[in-house]
Structure 1
Amino acid sequence: MMIGNLGGQLSVASKIAFDRGAKVTHFDTVEQALSALRAGRGADLIMAEYRLDLESLVIALDMERISVPVVACGVEADARGAAQAIKAGAREFIPLPPDPDMIAAVLEAVADDDRPMIASDEAMMRVVQLADQIAASEASVLITGESGVGKEVMARYVHKKSRRSTAPFISVNCAAIPENLLESELFGHEKGAFTGAVARRIGKFEEADGGTLLLDEISEMDARLQAKLLRAIQEREIDRVGGNKPIKVNIRILATSNRDLAQAVRDGIFREDLLYRLNVVNLRIPPLRDRIKDALTMAEYFVEKYSLANGFQKKILSDDAKVRISSHTWPGNVRELENAMHRAVLLSPDNVIGPDAIRQPDGLAPVAASTAALSATGNPVVDAATQSAQSVSQSMVGRTVADVEQGLILETLDHCLGNRTHAANILGISIRTLRNKLKAYSEAGIDVPAPGEIREAG
C-alpha cells in the first residue's frame, strides 16, 4: 500500500513493486488508506510520503489494532526529514527516485510468496506427494518443522493446488503480533469496542472468506485466543471484538509450528481439542540436513536469483562448492542457505563460485563441513572417526554427491565400529535418516557393517 502524491515518483515505485510481483494499492491521503484497512483490504507494508502526518498514521494503526509496518519515502529529503520520519514511527526511510534493488529488498523483507516448491530429495518428495493428495480437500492442515525449513512455502503450495486457489490466501504471523493486537487482527472489531476503535475493522478471517487462512507459528497464540479460534473453526463463524452478532465465514485453515504441539499440550500451554481440529493432516517438512539433494538444487536457484538481482552474469557453483554445501548441516535451514548463497554471489571474484566464497555472516569464516565443525568429544573411537571423515573429504572432487555421501557414511560407520548413534552424530544427521540410508545400501548389495563390526577389506 502506498500513500501520497510525489509527482509521479511514487507511481514509479509502485510500478517497480508491481513488476517484482507485489500487489499495490495507492491512496492520496492517510484517511483513505485507513478506511481501506478497516474494510479488510489488508496490506503487508505501507509506503508513505514522509511529509504526511506519519505520527498520526502510526498512532491510528496502534490504537485501532492494525498491525502493518510503515516505511517513509521522499524526494530530495534531507537527513533531518528522514530522522523525523523514523522518530514518528516509520521502520525505514527510502529516498526517491526509487532504486529497484532497494524496493526489492523491502518487498523481500515483508513477503515470501514467490518461492518455488523445490523438492528433488526423496524425503521431501514424500511430503509434497502427501500435500498433492490432500490439497483439494477442505481438511485443516498442520505444517511442522524446524525454523527456516519453508513451512509458509508449503502452505502457499497447498493453497495453489486447492479448489480455493483463485480466492485470497491470507497469512497471519501469530508470533510477531502482540496479544492485544492479534484478536482484532484475526476477528476484527466494531466501532467503540475499545478506546481508539473509531470505526469498524474487518479482520483476517473475513478478509480470507472463500479462501485460505494461514496461522503462522500458532504455538505462540495465547490460551484465551485459542478458545475463540477453536469455536471459529468448529462453527465456521466469528465474533468481532465488541460485536453481538456472529458472522459466517467460509475458509480453510492452515497452521504452522516449529514447536512440538503435543508436548505443548502436555505442558498445558496449548489446547488439545484445538490441536485435534488443526492436525487433520500433518505435513512435516524435514530439515535441510536430511535432504541434501534439495540443498544443492536450492543453492543453484538462489545463486541464479541473486546473480540477476545484483546485475551480474549468471554465476555457477564449482564442484568443490557443491561438496561444501552438501557437507554443511545448515542449522538455519533454507533461510541460512539462501543468505549464504547471496553472500557467495557477492564475494566470488568471478563467475564460478568456489567453496571459499561460502562464508559465515561476518564474511570471513567459511561455513564448516559437519565433520570439521565438531570439537573433540573425549571418546577415542568418535574422535578417530571424525579425523578420518575429514581426511576423506579431501578426495571428493570428481565424484557424484551420492557417491561422496555413501563413502562418507560407510567410512564413518567403519571407524565407529558400526555404532549408528555415534556415526549419526558425527555426520550431523538423524539416526532415522542414517538407518534409512543404510537399509537402501544393503538392498543394493553393499556391505554395511553391523554394530561392533567393520567392513571386510576388498
Structure 2
Amino acid sequence: MRLLVVGKLSGQLSTAVKMAMSAGAKVSHVESTDAATHALRAGQGADLLMVDYDLDIAGLIAANEAERIHVPVVACGIAADPKRAGDAIRAGAKEFIPLPPEAALIAAVLAAVSDDNRPMVVRDPSMQQVIQLADQVAPSDASILITGESGVGKEVVARYVHQKSRRANRPFISVNCAAIPENLLESELFGHEKGAFTGALARRIGKFEEANGGTLLLDEISEMDARLQAKLLRAIQEREIDRVGGAKPVKVDIRILATSNRDLSQAVKEGVFREDLLYRLNVVNLRLPPLRERPGDVVAMAEFFVKKYAAANGMPEKPLSAEAKRRLAAHRWPGNVRELENAMHRAILLAVGPEIDEMAIRLPDGQPLAPADAGARTAQAAAAAAETATRSFVGQTVAEMEQQLIIETLEHCFGNRTHAANILGISIRTLRNKLKEYTEAGVTVPAPQMGASAA
C-alpha cells in the first residue's frame, strides 16, 4: 500500500511513519496540503493520506476532488483533542490516529481504510484451474482479459496477477471505465496539459503515467466509447500516450489488464467494441466461473468473511453451524462473492449464541436462506413462474416487452442502475439511454432508493 504522509515530521509522526513501513506500507512525505495535491496531480500515486489534524483537511479533500483525485484520508495528532479529532472526521477524514502511536492501531487503520485485505480464497477445482493459468502467465508482459459476472472477483484476480508478476514492486493502478463520464475518462487515463480545456488549471498526470513500470487495470473496459478505444489501441501498440492538449507523445512501460462482465465478442458484432482492440487485450483470457459453479469456494469464503468482519466490528469470531454451511453451499448467490460477503457481514451482527446458525444468514430482503433440500421445489416454482410470464407477454410488441422488462428489473434492484444493467446484460450507458427515452415519453422510471446507487 502507498501511504503519503502530510505534515511536519515531528518525533511522534516519524515514529508513526516507521510503524506504517513495518506494516508493509510504501511511505512518501510532504509538509503541506498544497504539496500533497501537487504530488498526486503530478503522478505520485497514493492509496491513503495520513494528515496532521493541524492542517486544513477539508481544504485538502476539496482540492483533490476538484482534480478528480479520490484518496481516503486519516487524520493524526499529538495530545489528541476530542473536539479537533471530531472536526477532522467531519471534514472528511475516515479515521483518527492519536500520537504517540501504537503499532497495532496503525496496522489496523491502514488495513481497514485501504481494504487491501483481499486474499485469494480458492478451494473449488474449477477456480483452481483459473489460478493455475494465472500463475503460468503472470510473469509475462502479455495483456490479460479477465471476464465473468459482476461480483465474481475480477479485480481480486487482477491484483493477484500483478503480485505474481515481475512488476509486483511497481504500482498497480485501477481505473473503472464505467464510473467515469465519457468526457472525463480520456483525461483520467492519459492526463492533460494546463489550459487543455476549461477547468484544466494545471498539468495532470494520467493513470497511464502513474502506472509506469507497473500494471494498469482497465475495469469494465466494455463501457469505453469508440473514439477512446482507438486512442487506447494506439497506446498499447506504440507504448506511448498523448496527454490531452500535449505537444509530444510520452513513452510508458506498463502491463495492461482488463475486465468485463459482458461478452466482448458480441459487443464487436454489435459494433460497440473494436475488434482489433479485443485482440490486443485478449492475449490470454481468464474466465472466472460464477459462485454457483464453484460450490467448493462458498464455505471457505464465508469463513474468511466471518473472521474479517468479526475483527472489523470488535466481536468474537464464531464458527458456522453445520446447517448454515449446508444452506450456504446450496444457495445460488446471484450476486456472487459480493453478495456472499455482505451476507456474512450481516450474519456477524445478527448471530446469537456460540455459533452462526442458518437464521443469522439473511438475504438482502431480510429472508433467511432456503433449506438445502429446497432446490428442486424452487426450480419447479421458477419454471411455473416463467411459463406465466411468457403468457403475459403474448400480444405485446418487442419494444413494449423490453420496456416492461427494464422497468421491472429496475424496481427489483430498488432503482440501482448498475445492478439492473448487470442483470439485463446490457451496458450502463445503454440502460441510461433507454430510461431517458422512457422518461421523455412520460413513463415513470423508478428512482434510486436510499442506499441504492444511481450510477
TM over 0.5: yes
- Which among 83, 105, 112 is matched to residue 77 of structure 1? 83
Q: Tell me the distance in 2 between the aligned counterparts of 1:368 and 1:47.
A: 45
Q: For the Cα contact (< 8 Å) 1:116–1:153, is it kept in 2?
A: yes
- Asked if residue 266 in structure 1 is aligned to residue 269 in structure 2, the reply is yes
Does the C-alpha gap of structure 1 residues 157 and 96 become closer, same or farther in structure 2, counting only changes over 3 Å?
closer
1:336 Cα offset (Å)? 1.6
Q: For the Cα contact (< 8 Å) 1:17–1:104, is it kept in 2?
A: no
**Structure 2 residue aligned with 1:316:** 319
**Structure 2 residue aligned with 1:153:** 156
- Asked if residue 37 in structure 1 is aligned to residue 37 in structure 2, the reply is no
Q: Tell me the distance in 1 between the aligned counterparts of 2:169 and 2:86.
A: 45
3-state DSSP of counterpart to 1:240: coil
1:183 Cα offset (Å)? 2.2
3-state DSSP of counterpart to 2:256: strand
3-state DSSP of counterpart to 2:145: strand
- Which among 365, 368, 371 is matched to residue 366 of structure 1? 368
**Structure 1 residue aligned with 2:425:** none
Q: For the Cα contact (< 8 Å) 1:358–1:367, is it kept in 2?
A: yes
Does the C-alpha gap of structure 1 residues 53 and 243 become closer, same or farther in structure 2, counting only changes over 3 Å?
same
1:330 Cα offset (Å)? 1.2
Mean Cα deviation higher: 54-63 or 201-210: 54-63
Q: For the Cα contact (< 8 Å) 1:150–1:334, is it kept in 2?
A: yes
3-state DSSP of counterpart to 2:257: strand
**Structure 2 residue aligned with 1:66:** 69
**AA in 1 matched with 2:369:** V
- Asked if residue 288 in structure 1 is aligned to residue 294 in structure 2, the reply is no
User: Which has the greater radius of gyration?
Assistant: 1
Aligned-pair identity in percent equals 63
- Asked if residue 176 in structure 1 is aligned to residue 176 in structure 2, the reply is no
3-state DSSP of counterpart to 2:262: coil
Q: Tell me the distance in 2 between the aligned counterparts of 1:28 and 1:185.
A: 26
3-state DSSP of counterpart to 2:289: coil
Q: For the Cα contact (< 8 Å) 2:42–2:205, is it kept in 1?
A: yes
Deviations 1:70-94 (A, max 9, x none): 6778842379946973xxxx4x654
Q: For the Cα contact (< 8 Å) 1:9–1:96, is it kept in 2?
A: no
Q: Tell me the distance in 2 between the aligned counterparts of 1:344 and 1:109.
A: 22
Deviations 1:187-225 (A, max 9, x none): 122233234434333222122222211111112223222
**AA in 1 matched with 2:309:** Y
With structure 2 as the length reference, what TM-score do the two structures score?
A: 0.71
Q: Tell me the distance in 2 between the aligned counterparts of 1:378 and 1:186.
A: 44
1:247 Cα offset (Å)? 1.4
**AA in 2 matched with 1:271:** R
Deviations 1:218-258 (A, max 9, x none): 12223222221111001111111221111111111000111
3-state DSSP of counterpart to 2:150: coil
Mean Cα deviation higher: 297-306 or 330-339: 297-306
Matches within 5 A, 1:319-338: 319-338=322-341
- Which among 275, 279, 288 is matched to residue 278 of structure 2? 275
**Structure 2 residue aligned with 1:143:** 146
- Asked if residue 167 in structure 1 is aligned to residue 173 in structure 2, the reply is no
Q: For the Cα contact (< 8 Å) 1:67–1:181, is it kept in 2?
A: no
1:50 Cα offset (Å)? 6.4
3-state DSSP of counterpart to 1:316: coil
**AA in 1 matched with 2:195:** G
**Structure 2 residue aligned with 1:456:** none
Q: For the Cα contact (< 8 Å) 2:47–2:114, is it kept in 1?
A: yes
Q: Tell me the distance in 1 between the aligned counterparts of 2:313 and 2:157.
A: 27
Does the C-alpha gap of structure 1 residues 351 and 379 become closer, same or farther in structure 2, counting only changes over 3 Å?
closer
Matches within 5 A, 1:128-139: 128-139=131-142
Does the C-alpha gap of structure 1 residues 186 and 243 become closer, same or farther in structure 2, counting only changes over 3 Å?
same
Q: Tell me the distance in 2 between the aligned counterparts of 1:102 and 1:324.
A: 38
Q: Indicate the RMSD between aligned Cα atoms, in angstroms.
A: 3.7
Q: Aligned pairs, how many? A: 376
Q: Tell me the distance in 2 between the aligned counterparts of 1:375 and 1:102.
A: 50
Q: For the Cα contact (< 8 Å) 2:95–2:109, is it kept in 1?
A: no
1:294 Cα offset (Å)? 0.8
> Which stretches in structure 2 are left out of the alignment for 5+ residues?
388-455
3-state DSSP of counterpart to 2:38: helix
**Structure 2 residue aligned with 1:377:** 381
1:20 Cα offset (Å)? 6.5
Q: Tell me the distance in 1 between the aligned counterparts of 2:87 and 2:382.
A: 60
> Which stretches in structure 1 are left out of the alignment for 5+ residues?
384-458
Matches within 5 A, 1:24-423: 24-46=27-49, 48=51, 52-53=55-56, 56-68=59-71, 75-77=81-83, 81=87, 85=91, 90=92, 94=95, 97=98, 108=112, 111=115, 113-361=116-364, 364-369=366-371, 371=374, 374=378, 377=381
Q: For the Cα contact (< 8 Å) 1:9–1:97, is it kept in 2?
A: no
Deviations 1:309-333 (A, max 9, x none): 4444442222111101101111121
